Amino acid sequence: MPMIEVTASKGALADEHIKQRLAAELGSIALELEASPGVHFEEMPHMQALAWCFLNEQDIFAGGQPPENPLYRVTVTIPDGSPGLFGPLAARGRALLVERVTRAVLTAEGTEPTTTEAYRVWVHLRSIADGHWAGFGEILTLPELASYGFGADETGSKTQRLRAAALAGWNRVAVDPGGE
């Protein structure tokens, strides 16, 4: 259940379709890598419904000067304990996340993802302690989040109720982007 925030220089990603494709790609990357290998959350609609990406464009300065080319900061926030990114063997998952997010941003911009261009994209990984992740107006623990993701719950359970609410809300947004 990643929350992704992209802060970009004003006008860096002017085309709405490019923004939407980038948001979808970043959500899929984070969903793929937050879980353990072999789990494909990026293919599950109830997980896509909670893979949110906030895109903020603003004035950004480097050394007090406006940069010649756009700058980006991508913050990926994931519950602490997500085995693919924060477990004891997750260094490779974090490195892969940073590499793929950087490549996705530069590709969306239309720039070749070289080391020189990658200087302009900074990726911050943030973990939220168990019991501090909340949504649906409720605190969600790591076991509940795992149950939500894997569908390992009983009929009528909290996580089944939340999964149904997320899908209903996501489907409403997908059908009517204006929310009416």
**More confident: 142 or 5:** 5
- pLDDT computed for residue 176 by the predictor: 53
- pLDDT computed for residue 36 by the predictor: 62
From the list 166, 69, 87, 70, the residue with the least C-alpha distance to 125 is 87
CA-CA distance, 15 to 27, in Å (whole number)? 19
Of the candidate ranges 44-48, 59-63, 85-89, the one whose mean pLDDT is the lowest: 85-89
| Token pair belonging to 13 | 């990603």
| Token pair belonging to 165 | 């609410």
What's the mean pLDDT in 65-93? 87
Domains with residue ranges and CATH for the chain: 3-175 (3.30.429.10)
Residue 119 neighbours by CB distance under 10 Å:
12
What confidence tens digit (pLDDT) does each residue in 150-176 have?
777 778 888 888 888 888 888 766 555
Rounded to the nearest angstrom, the gap between the alpha carbon of residue 108 and the centroid of all alpha carbons in its chain is: 16
Of the candidate ranges 31-40, 44-53, 70-79, the one whose mean pLDDT is the lowest: 31-40
Q: What is the 3-state secondary structure (H, E, C) of the chain?
A: CCEEEEEEECCCCCCHHHHHHHHHHHHHHHHHHHCCCCCCHHHCHHHHCCCEEEEEEECCCECCECCCCCCEEEEEEEECCCHHHHCCCCHHHHHHHHHHHHHHHHHHHCCCCCHHHHCCEEEEEEEECCCCEEECCEEECHHHHHHHHHCCCCCCCHHHHHHHHHHHHHHHHHHCCCCC
Write down the pTM of the prediction: 0.87
| Token pair belonging to 170 | 């996501």
Contact status, residue 138 vs residue 132, Cβ threshold 8 Å = no
Confidence of residue 179 (pLDDT cuts 50, 70, 90): very low
- pLDDT computed for residue 175 by the predictor: 53
Contact status, residue 97 vs residue 29, Cβ threshold 8 Å = yes
Rounded to the nearest angstrom, the gap between the alpha carbon of residue 178 and the centroid of all alpha carbons in its chain is: 22
